[in-house]
Amino acid sequence: MPDTNASRSSLPVAKATIAALNDALRADITSPGHNRIVMTAGVAALIGDVSLFRCFHKRAELLRTVRDFDTFTADNDPHDEHDFGRFAFDNATFYWKIDYYDRALEYGSDDPADPEVTTRVLTILLAEEY
């Protein structure tokens, strides 16, 4: 399998396409299409039972925070792909990250710039779970 990280980092057009696809996933975070949005058990425990209004509201706030994240720097986005973020929420430090898989979610994607062969998985996690 080709080293997609090496090939991605050398192609500015591919990096810009990947960043745009990642931004689009976050922009439509409640309707990800064939992509996935997941949270770790630690995040779910912090949010609580989403059948209760206050917990549902907390989850919505968390998703909005990820959706609206735009503080990309050389430190948190060294490949210019907009695939990672760090933020504070509810007195805790969170990360979100996007990984690229094939459509069957079995292997890494051969071409993260091609949405026809890639499923993006955005994971929201507590910093201590990283």
pLDDT tens per residue across span 21-54: 999 999 999 999 999 999 999 999 999 887 787 7
**The two three-digit tokens of residue 93, written as one number:** 């430090």
108, 124 contact by CB (below 8 A) = no
Alpha helix segments (H runs only) across 1-130: 4-9, 12-27, 41-47, 53-68
**Dist. CA 118–CA 115, nearest whole Å:** 5
Q: Whole-prediction pTM value?
A: 0.88
**Dist. CA 15–CA 80, nearest whole Å:** 6
15, 98 contact by CB (below 8 A) = no
**The two three-digit tokens of residue 33, written as one number:** 């299409």
Q: pLDDT band for 1, please (50, 70, 90 cuts).
A: very low
Taking 80 as the threshold, does the pLDDT of residue 115 lie above it? yes
Share of the chain above pLDDT 70, in %: 92
Task: Give residue-wise pLDDT tens across range 72-92.
Answer: 999 999 999 999 999 999 999
